[in-house]
Amino acid sequence: MNRSQASQVVLVTGASEGTGLNLVDILLQRGHRIASFSQTLSAELKAFQNSNPNFLLTIQGDPASHESCASAIAFTTSHFGRLDALVLSGASDKPSLHGGDIREEEIAENFAANLSGAYSLLRAAIPELRGPRGRVVIMTTALSPGRGSIAEHGATAAAVDTLVSSIAQEEESVTFLALDPGLVNTPFRKRVAQTTPSATHNEAANVESSNMLVSPKQVASNIAALALHAPEGMSGRIIKWDADEVKALLLASA
């Protein structure tokens, strides 16, 4: 059995709901071992843990804390003996404000959750990923270009995009990807939409009514293909979830 067919160990953040939860489900069905890392454990994630005790390790901690991130990686490698892939699908769902209204503590909180935590996880995970020539997939956002009322979310997403393209040049033994998931129909998206100012909120409502949203299961299937099988030549890319290369990879790995 070659590496692409063997059971891999994947750490997933934001796995309590939405795309992350669907990703855990898909990976479990394919016989892979997963460590989930999140602040809360949803009933659905606990159910997966109870029915897959040998394949799912649930780690509860603060993804914005360097100490928690380092502990999560150490716990994963101690429990499963290795780490093959890291998928960062969690983000802050704090209310979005107009750029001129954001307080310093709100900026710090969002950057800690959406960017500093990613740095901390990468710093702890990269030494483990070098040996197996592992992969990192970081969720970015369709809202990263300049848009009203999402200044802090867009700024951290743009920073993640730059982080991925830069670190891929430094770490040639690990494949790094930033994934634009599109407009996914998740509880997270709904919470963010409900707390944005009226113009952006109305835009989100129009998107939902026009059936532009995609299901988290669709996106999770494509993320799984990338996390398990993305070729090294893709490293450093910011890629849409339904790009032709992703579709081809999904078919090849089916």
Residue 104 has pLDDT above 70, yes or no: yes
- Phi-psi sector, 94: left (phi>0), alpha (psi -120 to 50), beta: beta
pLDDT > 70: percent of the chain: 79
How many Å apart are CA 162 and CA 157, to the nearest integer? 9
Q: What are phi and psi of 234, to 5 degrees?
A: -85, -10
Please state the separation of Cα 206 from the chain's center in Å: 26
Q: Which amino acid is at 185?
A: N
Phi first, then psi, for residue 37 (nearest 5°) are -130, 115
Record the tokens describing residue 155, joined without a space.
């700024």
- The letter for the amino acid at 219 is V
pLDDT at 100 over 90: no
- The per-residue pLDDT for range 147-164, each reduced to its tens digit, is 555 667 777 888 889 999
Q: What is the pLDDT of residues 105-132, one digit of tens each?
A: 777 777 777 888 899 999 999 999 999 9
Least confident of 2-16, 117-131, 182-196, 214-228: 182-196
CATH architecture of 9-249: 3-Layer(aba) Sandwich (3.40)
Strand partners, 59: 37
Residues 155-201: tens digit of each pLDDT: 788 888 999 999 999 999 999 999 999 887 765 555 555 555 554 54
Q: Is 45 exposed, middle or buried (0-12, 13-18, 19+ CB in 10 A)?
A: buried
**How much is the pLDDT for 218?**
92
* Position 97 pLDDT exceeds 60: no
Q: Average pLDDT for residues 34-48, to the nearest whole number?
A: 95
Report which of 177, 181, 173, 183 is spatially closest to residue 226, judged by C-alpha positions. Answer: 177
The pLDDT assigned to 211 comes to 62
Q: Across residues 203-217, what is the average pLDDT?
A: 66
> Which is nearest to 15 in space by CA: 108, 91, 78, 95?
91
d(CA 178, CA 96): 22
| Range with the poorest average pLDDT among 27-36, 39-48, 169-178, 199-208 | 199-208
Confidence (pLDDT) at 88: 96
pLDDT over 60 at 207, yes or no: no
pLDDT band at residue 2 under the 50/70/90 scheme: very low
Task: Indicate the domain borders of the chain.
Answer: 9-249
Taking residue 9's Cβ as centre, other Cβ atoms within 10 Å add up to 24
DSSP 140: -
